[in-house]
Amino acid sequence: MRKIVAVAAAALAVAAGAGAFGAPPTRTLDGSGNNLRHPDWGQTNTQYLRVADPNYADGAGQPVSGPNPRYVSNRVFNDEGQNLFSENGETQWGWAWGQFLDHTFGLADETPAENLPIPFDKNDPLEEFRDDLGAIDFTRTPAAPGTGTSRHNPRQQINTVSSYIDAFSVYGGTDARLEWLRTGPVDGNMANNGPTLMLDSKGYLPRANARGNAATAPHMDLMGALMGAPSTAVEAGDVRANENIALTSIHTLLAREHNRIVGLLPSSLSAEDKFQIARRVVGAEEQYITYNEFLPSLGLRLDPYRGYDPHVNASLSNEFATTGYRVHSMVHGEFDVDAAAGTYSSAQLAAFAAEGIDVEPQPDGTVDLTIPLTLAFGNPDLLEQIGEGAILASLAGEAQYKNDEQIDNSMRSVLFQIPKPGATQPCATPVVDPNCFTDVSDLGAIDVQRGRDHGIPYYNDLRRAYGLRPVRSFTDITGESTDQFPAGLTINTPGILDFVKLLDRNGNVVPLGSDDAQEDAVVGIRRTTLAARLKAIYGDVNKVDAFVGMVSEKHVRGTEFGELQLAMWKKQFEALRDGDRFFYANDPELDRIQHTYGITFRVTLSQLIKLDAGVTLQPNVFKLADLNQPAPREKRLHGHRRSHPPFAFGPPGRH
């Protein structure tokens, strides 16, 4: 019997990438074989896990009803153009790295399924936008094959990417995509590929037409202007790499890092060996930055790592992917680039202004560029025009938005939308003009609808599933003192979202309407409490949508999260670490690479940016420069491996 088990384990090891004659095992592209006992755990095109029983109206797959998501959005998510920033000095690298990570381990199957449009009420007294279509487009995630047939077999959904933190976004999940991305011919023979990833002569990602016929390039999601020019889309491991210039810049950074590592390896190695070593190091770097910088910067502390546990399934849970990892409130509405004198010519600056970028020359010869997020959607050309280093630096230079219930209008109302003809110039501004667009795409409303689509439990039920006590009142959610409206106001009274007081990070009052109000405010007090609005919308605290309740929670001190989201992240990121056989603290091959070739995965994101973009930033790019702490020191783990003390925006869909 033992012999049979040993033979089976050896076969699985080969399936998981183990070479002959003792060659080290490597990750498969699709995540299969990571767990030798359960080779499909974490694999592409497998079902999300469930932490709790799904919540469907019929128990099988029919979404529960509830308040209109756009109605909720207009009363809860609308930020009224007022910036509120992270109270802990988190930079924009928080949301940017978080989105890149999300695109590494989560993407629900989006094969067209049933339409479930979100009605748009043009007569809503709190509606500021127009929608000539009369509804916000929404399509249900298709059911996993064979599910949704009964209460005993409820509807499930499929994750189309691997659940591991494995640099999937850089390399993709299939041989066909990877072969196109690697240097060398595309002939179906992986053996003649070069060791490097394709980049253009300036070090940017290849476009779809880089090999001639753009129609033969791997599929990429298109949005905005790319819809009319698909051949100009950049190609990468994940289909969403063109979503915004911050995301594209991170893809570019790690592709450059792969090639940098290849360049450090001796010529005596084969092209395949060079490629696999670089891929292994880049994947470990993504994990190292995630667990030692990204997660700690957000305030999450995980239980100590005790080594790989083959009993832990690292697959994403439906609750985390659909609700817990949706941190769209963090996403800033603009990019602020501070450029040295002479960086751009006068002709370039004029072209930037014509595109809708706010160009402000400074007395010392430097220039400030303010790039609206609406202009950054689906615009890889803009990344090259501004420059890789400038965009990476901009993310480290300003605090990200507070992770709360407020969502910037660039995503709450005009996500990926193109301004109507003749209105381009006034539309590409930091404050979204409702008159510039003819239809609405509301990511906050979609987040609510997606939760119902996937059968995510109500807020209180989800708290129970994560070991938290259910709340008994709406003020228990928000931490406010009242859930009553002031005399004369109702849930439908215009002006109920007006801000009446702003505070900075130190508790000082920030004058309303001042320049400081758009730079320093971290607390905003409105004419009505959030608790009052939630009570008027839902009535029963046990019927609150999980996403709405989660983002409305008062933050746990020192973190960017309320209790529920904190618990969801902790559970998932521990599983992603503990259930990964190739986690950096469990992979002896990484030490061998360092000993043999002098290449380490233990680099901070700041160091990575210096190495591959030539830009020097604060040591911890996830925190504002005036809050920076020294880089963490190595601590001895249980066992023989080493690590730093440890700490996905994102949705399972495209957005």
Whether residues 309 and 399 fall in one domain: no
Say how far apart CA 409 and CA 260 lie, in whole Å. Answer: 39
| C-alpha–C-alpha distance, residues 530 and 405, integer Å | 9
Kindly indicate the confidence band of residue 29, based on its pLDDT and cuts at 50, 70 and 90.
Answer: very high
Domain that holds residue 630: 2-225+236-329+449-454+567-643
Q: Are 62 and 169 within one domain? A: yes
Residue with tokens 């300003």: 398
> Are residues 92 and 184 located together in one domain of the fold?
yes
> Residue 526 domain-assigned?
no
Within a domain: residue 625? Answer: yes
Convert the pLDDT of each residue in 607-632 to its tens digit.
999 999 999 999 999 999 987 754 44
| Residue 598 placed within a domain | yes
Residue 546, domain member (yes or no): no
The encoded tokens of residue 621 equal: 């790019």
Residue 633 has pLDDT above 50, yes or no: no
Exposed (0-12), middle (13-18) or buried (19+): which is 508, by Cβ within 10 Å? exposed
The predicted model gives 554-561 an average pLDDT of 97
pLDDT at residue 578 greater than cutoff 80? yes
Residues in CB range of 377: below 8 A, 6 or more apart: 223, 224, 243, 244, 415, 416
Do 342 and 432 lie in a common domain? yes
Q: Are residues 161 and 180 in the same domain?
A: yes
Q: Does 120 share its domain with 58?
A: yes
State residue 411's pLDDT score.
Answer: 85
- Taking a C-beta distance cutoff of 8 angstroms, is the pair 40, 133 a contact? no
pLDDT digit string, tens, across residues 146-191: 999 999 999 999 999 999 999 999 999 999 999 999 999 999 999 9
Rounded distance between C-alpha atoms, residue 11 and residue 247, angstroms: 38
Separation in Å, CA 439 to CA 9, 414, 418: 55, 8, 10
Rounded Cα gap, residues 645 and 633, in angstroms: 9
The answer on 303 and 394 residing in a single domain is: no
Which residues partner with 144 through β-bridges? Answer: none
- Joined together, the tokens standing for residue 78 give 């609308």
- Which range among 378-387, 416-425, 637-646 shows the weakest confidence by mean pLDDT? 637-646
Pick the more confident residue, 411 or 135.
Answer: 135
Domain assignment present for residue 467? The answer is: no
The string over 50-72, giving b where at least 16 C-beta atoms fall within 10 Å of a residue's C-beta and e elsewhere, is bbbebbbeebbbebbebbbbbbb
pLDDT score of 488 more than 80: yes
How far is residue 137 CA from its own chain's centroid? 22
End-to-end CA gap in the chain:
49
139 and 197 share a domain?
Answer: yes
Taking only the tens place, the pLDDT of each residue in 220-250 is 999 888 999 999 999 999 999 999 999 999 9
pLDDT computed for residue 440 by the predictor? 81
Higher pLDDT, 408 or 19: 408
CATH number at residue 300: 1.10.640.10
Do 612 and 635 fall into the same domain? yes
Q: Is residue 635 pLDDT above 70, yes or no? A: no
The encoded tokens of residue 268 equal 């005596």
Percent of the chain clearing pLDDT 70 (strictly above): 88
Residue 562: which residues within 8 A CB-CB, separation 6 or more? 550, 551, 552, 553, 554, 555, 556
Instruction: State yes or no: pLDDT of 650 exceeds 70.
Output: no
pLDDT at residue 468, rounded to an integer: 98
DSSP state of 364: T
- Is residue 401 classed as helix, strand or coil in its secondary structure? strand
500 within a domain of the structure (yes/no): no
pLDDT of residue 439: 67
Determine the angle formed by the axes of helices 605-613 and 388-397, rounding to 10 degrees.
160
Residue of 414 and 92 predicted with greater confidence: 92
Same domain, 296 and 175: yes
Domain-ending residue, one of 436, 462, 485:
436
Mean pLDDT across the stretch 191-214? Answer: 97
Q: Is residue 111 pLDDT above 70, yes or no?
A: yes
And the tokens for 229? 């020019």
Phi, psi of 566 (to 5 degrees): -60, -45
Structure confidence by residue, pLDDT tens digits, 592-611: 999 999 999 999 999 999 99
Asked if pLDDT for residue 569 goes beyond 60, the answer is: yes
Of the candidates 472, 376, 473, which has an alpha carbon nearest to the alpha carbon of residue 430?
376
Q: Which residues contact 537 (CB under 8 A, 6 or more apart)?
A: 67, 71, 72, 75, 76, 491
- Domain boundary among the residues 386, 406, 436 is at 436
Using CB atoms within 10 A of its CB, is residue 525 exposed (0-12), middle (13-18) or buried (19+)?
exposed
Distance, in Å, from the CA atom of 384 to the CA atom of 549, rounded to the nearest integer, reads 40
Question: Whole-angstrom Cα distance, residue 80 to residue 152?
Answer: 45
Q: What is the per-residue pLDDT for 309?
A: 98
| Beta-bridge mates of residue 339 | 367
Neighbours of 111 (CB within 10 A): 10
Boundary-marking domain end, from 403, 436, 469: 436
Residue 23 phi, psi dihedral angles, 5° rounding: -60, 140
- State whether 211 and 182 are in the same domain: yes
CB atoms within 10 A of CB 492: 13
Residue 311 has pLDDT above 90, yes or no: yes
Query: Does residue 144 form part of some domain?
Result: yes
> In this structure, is residue 444 part of a structural domain?
no
Check: CB of residue 83 under 8 Å from CB of residue 519.
yes
d(CA 282, CA 329): 29
- Which of these ranges, 501-505, 617-621, 647-651, has the smallest mean pLDDT? 647-651
Local confidence band at 422 (pLDDT 50, 70, 90 cut-offs): low
Please state the pTM of the whole predicted model. 0.91
Domain identity same for 69 and 18: yes
Number of domains the chain contains: 2
